[in-house]
Structure 1
């Protein structure tokens, strides 16, 4: 076996021996000035630091600082000062000797990359970061406690509006840079409107602000915008990106989620109400686990129901449940911790201190949260409307109830007498139990040559011809006294169609009427007809209905039937009005009249006499139970229920009872809907194991884990001291714990990025080792503390307070004009010497055009809508399980955030302007610039309609001349007055358009579409539409300055 030391010595000998031989084989040095950060650092990080960095130093060699590099390792120095040809490092990475090539695993350096290293060494190994070694996983800045830092002193203190400016200005002054002047007021109000509401200001609002000289005018404007209900829409849309919100499941089936919007409404409401971010977090991650949880807190957990759902045939439900838990785990890591947690799903993180075991500790918190259905209120407007309607309905019910009680009070002694009689009958039923008796000498006859065969169980089976209608006559003798009812059993039989019990093809029958007679003689010369009091059956056909009670109503067009319960045994009991009193014996004749027609006759039946008392025929079961309670033991409610029942038997109160019943049936339904949410598994909790390479079928059963935090962060403790295991609620509270150094930093950075286009930490999605360091670390911590702890004027975790703090700073209020003198010093504007120009998001691009055209609906919340799609898209992407039907009226022009979002086929206007696909969390939208974007805003149906409406708006308003009208148009679009040059260009453009459309009347009519304006010719209308279209396609129009 070769020992490491022997291998090291051997390598040294080989390297020394090879130096003189390999020089002519080396790639030449790069012939240019080498930049360490751009050229060298990426090569060292990619090829060297894994084995020769902060975590590991193979052969005692460390290459992540200049001092360590020059020091060398066990093989001595690897760098010869300014002489790459004699540097061992170059020989090792060049691959000239296959026995010693580095790195031994992974891709080798290309000749050009070796040339870069050679030139860097020859130029003196310039390392701008000095000798500071690379951060280790445990010393990384983001894992350190948040520091309470005092704002630094600055020279130009008159520029400072709040402490944010002190941190920014201090860095600028170190470099001798002055901040930019404040933007003009027109720019400021448009900037604020777009940032806080995503809507442009009106001309009136601009004029009011521009002409308001009060010192607090700007702050008042900020306060007004923060109170706007559209604020929740704007900042809710940012949160929907992080939540991967969509209106469909995703994957191949991509079924719609029609009620998903209710969670979107919850987000808008929560942000409008400035729900503290810690509570906002807890309710979305674990609202179902809060004490006395509400329906809205359960609804909040739909944040993690936004995962994709695979409903394809043959899928393994457990596989996709686990996939959903993966997504929830990784989304939590990205949104709250700013870490690329997903890298540790299959193996320990290569850079950050997240082991695979720790990944599954976080995963464990979600492993027992299942997707369930929760009933939640609809929109606040619908709830308010329901409350009004319900109050009116309740008042009407109360009025009828008062009248009914007055009538019931008149019943008095009659009710008491009925109650006594009913209790006696109930007692008799106990003393006289039910018994069944067969008739002696039983015989069955019928017209139409129907034959009957007696069966062993006492039943009769019909055979022979099946007439259209039939009457079965059953006779026999009895000596049983006190017969109280007849029982008819209809029975299945294999000889009958569909096994019966009827003889028609489908097995049904209709018994229209039944009669019973008794006689002292067999010839029934002195027969006496008995009356029935009631009837019931085990099953009754519901469609007409066909009920047992209809057999004794004296009508031949009603009766008892049993569809669709064919091929089964059924029974009906017909109660006599008075028990049969016998002195000796009597002959009995019963007729079963089947007059419906169409051969609906009975195939097999059994008739029995019943003795005993069965109050349930005349008294409902609930009334029997009430009567069984002693009078002095009944509650007021029970007494009223008995009185209500008796009243229903009294002619004087029947009308009121029916009126009350009808009212109760018309009670307005609660405005509720069902939403899929995450609820904690009620029983049989799952165990969580590390999964080998993230494969759900390969749990490492020897590595069971429970919910816990990453080792680099403060511990996650169960809230219940008696519990040994944390859960989702503990996770949620840990995320927003004052001890957690990440959540407040990450959240502040998200908000900062939305307002400046770049985070204080530029890598918004990665606060880990591979992420960017904060440009202003002290400012980040100061903001994180302010956000987390609040102050005398702001509650802790207030989103609105943080936004107000930032947008009222001088830093935010700077002009965004480009400064060429800073291009070399600060090309990315990292130091914030000016504001940044930002293209608005996809939804806002559309909203701005519709708003200027006067088309935009500003209705808030509610179901998603279906604006027009480009031709062919509906046939291609909405031809299966879901049809896209264009919305009409107000819904056609709702704000873009309400557009129905189908994951496999999102609206192309949104995706073209970089709207995320909602398959994964998105904490930062990127803005591209493509020709297709211009083609959409020029030619798409929605934007054409906006241009038409904009032109109609301009031509419908009084104006002294073209210049006044064009100035109005310019101000509507950009909130500022055009310069003389801009107005001159617009005037020329309008003239060119007029000339063209006068000569091309057909083109004018085509462009105008359905737009007509009284007193304005088609060519003039078209000229203004074409001009309006250009204004709506200005870069400045879709840019936040």
Structure 2
């Protein structure tokens, strides 16, 4: 009876799926035309991963019938059960057990089984599998492990739309799906978007007026060039790399004392502003200390790998933490530069990617020969840097490392990389445990990615840098291009930015990704050129308007049919407030600062020892520095920035989460920095000989970066008048409203007018549009 019910249920479900499929439009998941070549990577593997790999995949503990459908040799081999049957008979689906099972209505034969609750394949998926087997059932090397080749620029129908090659790839995909791109965004929205993307700051009122008045054909390109030339460009571009490098101002763990890695942050900003080619940018950070006649700048760059957490607890086992630090370096290299989850192979062979535990420890070996130790003895006095250390004198900062912004003349100390004179043996660690050494291995790159030719490159970090930046390495350029794309569009062409492996997302535009990667390498790994190509494309310049049709056909904008719209990163939220109010301290680089913060946070989460036992807030101009310079204590990250999804920096992070919570609204309403900015701008505007409408209009344009509509001005003016009237009825209310922040007050201001304006301006800061890129 039970079998009969399963049988009937299977028939009913198949009928329902068939009916639904009839109404599905022919999109990316639709039926393939008879002459279209079916790709294992892009058409078949996603189906098998979703429906089959749970029982017939790489996990040996869950594998059924000894069958692996992720490997050709297993899929083509005779099955253990069944007289000569094979899962896949190339060219003959009717003789392929896989096809028989996915089309069967018998619960005893059906795959996936009803008990698995994975659901049956739909009509489109079954047709795709059938065509693939008919075409030979060919398996392919994972797409990300094959070196990118410059693809042909696709043909498009709307030939007047593309501005550069990026647009041909984006438009080709849209046209294949019957989607039309949006019109270009208006000048005010476009300027705000590109200014925030390139500098992290809103466009000044002067730049807004200048761009609005420029009707030349290359007006936008001139603005892009101007923004790229500003030093604020380096600050904005560095922000993502600080997340990758897990930069922080304290050590983490127990006492979580202060450290001085900020000169490395100054170097990163300088490197982006100087447009250091990406291959050199990586080489210096991986092995700058090992370059012939290495300069102090090249050695400083290696601080990238020394930004991880350090323990200062007495009684620790030095070797345990030395291993832990190198594990962190290996993970950062794997995720941040190669876009792979190599850390999964620390304790056992990777379950999904072709990375064995031996491969992992051969990669680990590159970092295992440094002079770094796990414990430095007496920790009664924390040191601002851990050995090996690079010392920077005042004279060196003035003459050699001129990009370092020194606040005083004391000698700086930075943790950098340094290589031992003798080779330390690297063991495979059983179960990844520091005191369970196994087989000895030598340093090598990941063989599944690219061969590491020891006859041409040395087995040290310099060799690793050469292997990483080789044009034949299939990952390095793709991963970086994808990270940069994510910075401008909110999501990468590969959504799983840190995982280009088997379990990562497939690229939405694989040809575009490959074209950009190859073009990037062919033009000298030029980062500014890459950025300019993106922001001058028609794809980038589209309006962010979402129509009902677009919401239906492309709800997540994965096909790039409109401009990106999402909330700005935490640091930019702060920077918009400071910049538009005129409070921003525009100094580049230097030590981190401690702005306003709720009392008691640090004190409740520290041991009560050391320089950071109490939160000593900064004053004067230090209060108004950009968000990227806010002091990051690893055990207690800056609260307002964490609420806006900033990285807590305790590990490598290549993609920030995006949340929308009531706490974010509470920050914008109550944060002293926002209230002070509202007060400062209000007092400035109150001193101007303008009407209330004109003052509100200028404030609106400074903050929202466009001119307000008549309806908006009417509403805001009414609000101002109501507040002015209400405040005037209470003698001390204006003073109480304006009594916020440490910035000096304007002495000759009308307090009632300033207080009413402050309420209006604070409302503008709390508009969603203000902190949203659209």
TM-score (norm 1): 0.64
- 8 Å CA contact retained: 1:262, 1:675: yes
Q: Which residue of 2 aligns with 1:923?
A: 654
Q: 1:85–1:704: structure 2 CA closer, same or farther, 3 Å change rule?
A: closer
| More moved, 920-929 vs 992-1001 | 992-1001
Q: Which residue of 1 aligns with 2:430?
A: 692
- 8 Å CA contact retained: 1:72, 1:79: no
Q: Which residue of 2 aligns with 1:49?
A: 57
Deviation for aligned residue 1:27? 11
Deviation for aligned residue 1:186? 1.2
1:945-964 aligned at under 5 Å gives the runs 945-959=676-690, 961-964=691-694
Q: How many angstroms apart in 2 are the aligned matches of 1:903 and 1:87?
A: 55
Q: 1:296–1:135: structure 2 CA closer, same or farther, 3 Å change rule?
A: farther
Q: Which residue of 1 aligns with 2:375?
A: none
Q: 1:89–1:39: structure 2 CA closer, same or farther, 3 Å change rule?
A: closer
Partner of residue 996 from structure 1, selected from 699, 718, 726: 726
1:7-22 aligned at under 5 Å gives the runs 22=3
Deviation for aligned residue 1:719? 7.2
Deviation for aligned residue 1:825? 1.9
Q: Are 2:405 and 1:677 equivalent residues in the alignment?
A: no
- 8 Å CA contact retained: 1:354, 1:710: yes
Q: Are 2:623 and 1:892 equivalent residues in the alignment?
A: yes
Q: 1:288–1:125: structure 2 CA closer, same or farther, 3 Å change rule?
A: closer
Q: Which residue of 2 aligns with 1:609?
A: none
- 8 Å CA contact retained: 1:377, 1:383: no
Q: How many angstroms apart in 2 are the aligned matches of 1:918 and 1:379?
A: 32
Deviation for aligned residue 1:1006? 2.0
- 8 Å CA contact retained: 2:167, 2:538: yes
Q: 1:1035–1:132: structure 2 CA closer, same or farther, 3 Å change rule?
A: farther
- 8 Å CA contact retained: 1:752, 1:759: yes
Q: Which residue of 2 aligns with 1:529?
A: none
Deviation for aligned residue 1:342? 0.7
Q: Which residue of 2 aligns with 1:368?
A: 369
Residues 310-357 of structure 1: per-residue CA shift (max 9 Å, x gap)? 111211111111111111111111111111111111111111111111
Deviation for aligned residue 1:161? 1.1
Q: 1:689–1:41: structure 2 CA closer, same or farther, 3 Å change rule?
A: closer
Q: Which has the higher strand share?
A: 1
Q: Which residue of 2 aligns with 1:483?
A: none
Partner of residue 973 from structure 1, selected from 692, 698, 703: 703
SS in 1 for 2:390: strand
Q: Which residue of 1 aligns with 2:37?
A: none
Q: 1:62–1:348: structure 2 CA closer, same or farther, 3 Å change rule?
A: farther
Residues 790-826 of structure 1: per-residue CA shift (max 9 Å, x gap)? 0xxxxx0111011011111111111111122122222
Number of matched residues? 704
Partner of residue 816 from structure 1, selected from 530, 534, 544: 544
Q: How many angstroms apart in 2 are the aligned matches of 1:63 and 1:887?
A: 68
Q: How many angstroms apart in 2 are the aligned matches of 1:64 and 1:866?
A: 63
Q: How many angstroms apart in 1 are the aligned matches of 2:138 and 2:716?
A: 60
Q: 1:237–1:59: structure 2 CA closer, same or farther, 3 Å change rule?
A: same
1:652-667 aligned at under 5 Å gives the runs none
Q: How many angstroms apart in 2 are the aligned matches of 1:990 and 1:829?
A: 39
SS in 2 for 1:958: coil
Q: Are 2:336 and 1:335 equivalent residues in the alignment?
A: yes
Q: Which residue of 2 aligns with 1:277?
A: 278
SS in 1 for 2:418: strand
Q: How many angstroms apart in 2 are the aligned matches of 1:986 and 1:157?
A: 44
SS in 1 for 2:754: helix
Partner of residue 499 from structure 2, selected from 747, 766, 774: 766
- 8 Å CA contact retained: 1:719, 1:726: no
- 8 Å CA contact retained: 2:346, 2:361: yes
SS in 2 for 1:983: helix
- 8 Å CA contact retained: 1:762, 1:774: yes
User: Unpaired segments of 5 or more residues in structure 2?
Assistant: 22-28, 30-42, 373-387
Q: How many angstroms apart in 2 are the aligned matches of 1:745 and 1:47?
A: 32
SS in 1 for 2:336: helix
Q: 1:128–1:822: structure 2 CA closer, same or farther, 3 Å change rule?
A: farther
Q: 1:67–1:987: structure 2 CA closer, same or farther, 3 Å change rule?
A: farther
SS in 2 for 1:824: helix
- 8 Å CA contact retained: 2:444, 2:459: yes
Q: Which residue of 1 aligns with 2:255?
A: 253
SS in 2 for 1:746: helix
Q: How many angstroms apart in 2 are the aligned matches of 1:927 and 1:815?
A: 21
Q: Which has the higher helix share?
A: 2
SS in 2 for 1:375: strand
Q: Which residue of 1 aligns with 2:33?
A: none
- 8 Å CA contact retained: 2:297, 2:401: no
Deviation for aligned residue 1:871? 2.4
| More moved, 203-212 vs 879-888 | 879-888
SS in 2 for 1:159: coil
Q: 1:227–1:752: structure 2 CA closer, same or farther, 3 Å change rule?
A: same
Q: How many angstroms apart in 2 are the aligned matches of 1:65 and 1:817?
A: 49
Q: 1:93–1:779: structure 2 CA closer, same or farther, 3 Å change rule?
A: same
Q: Which residue of 2 aligns with 1:789?
A: 522
Q: How many angstroms apart in 1 are the aligned matches of 2:710 and 2:160?
A: 34
Q: Which residue of 2 aligns with 1:424?
A: none
Q: 1:831–1:128: structure 2 CA closer, same or farther, 3 Å change rule?
A: farther
Deviation for aligned residue 1:22? 3.0
Q: 1:64–1:213: structure 2 CA closer, same or farther, 3 Å change rule?
A: farther
Q: Which residue of 2 aligns with 1:524?
A: none
Residues 247-285 of structure 1: per-residue CA shift (max 9 Å, x gap)? 11111221210x210110111111111111111101101
Deviation for aligned residue 1:126? 4.7
Q: 1:124–1:1019: structure 2 CA closer, same or farther, 3 Å change rule?
A: closer
- 8 Å CA contact retained: 1:295, 1:375: no
Q: How many angstroms apart in 1 are the aligned matches of 2:396 and 2:733?
A: 48
Residues 142-167 of structure 1: per-residue CA shift (max 9 Å, x gap)? 11121122312222222121111111
1:133-282 aligned at under 5 Å gives the runs 139-257=141-259, 259-282=260-283
Q: How many angstroms apart in 1 are the aligned matches of 2:110 and 2:414?
A: 66
1:852-871 aligned at under 5 Å gives the runs 852-871=580-599
User: Unpaired segments of 5 or more residues in structure 1?
Assistant: 1-19, 95-108, 388-668, 791-795
- 8 Å CA contact retained: 1:80, 1:86: no
Q: Are 2:101 and 1:78 equivalent residues in the alignment?
A: yes
Q: How many angstroms apart in 1 are the aligned matches of 2:267 and 2:93?
A: 56
- 8 Å CA contact retained: 1:748, 1:780: yes
Q: How many angstroms apart in 1 are the aligned matches of 2:582 and 2:455?
A: 53
Deviation for aligned residue 1:785? 1.2
- 8 Å CA contact retained: 2:481, 2:517: yes
Deviation for aligned residue 1:999? 3.7
Deviation for aligned residue 1:1016? 4.6
Q: How many angstroms apart in 1 are the aligned matches of 2:561 and 2:402?
A: 54
1:116-515 aligned at under 5 Å gives the runs 116-117=119-120, 126=126, 131-132=131-132, 139-257=141-259, 259-371=260-372, 372-377=388-393, 382-383=398-399
Partner of residue 569 from structure 2, selected from 841, 845, 848: 841
Q: How many angstroms apart in 1 are the aligned matches of 2:417 and 2:731?
A: 61
SS in 1 for 2:549: helix
| More moved, 230-239 vs 979-988 | 979-988
Q: Which residue of 2 aligns with 1:406?
A: none
- 8 Å CA contact retained: 1:59, 1:73: no
- 8 Å CA contact retained: 1:1012, 1:1018: no
Q: How many angstroms apart in 1 are the aligned matches of 2:363 and 2:125?
A: 43
TM-score (norm 2): 0.85
Q: Which residue of 1 aligns with 2:578?
A: 850
Q: Are 2:759 and 1:1029 equivalent residues in the alignment?
A: no
Give the alignment's Cα RMSD to 1 decimal. 3.1
Deviation for aligned residue 1:42? 3.2
Q: 1:1026–1:66: structure 2 CA closer, same or farther, 3 Å change rule?
A: farther
Q: Which residue of 2 aligns with 1:1038?
A: 771
- 8 Å CA contact retained: 1:854, 1:953: no
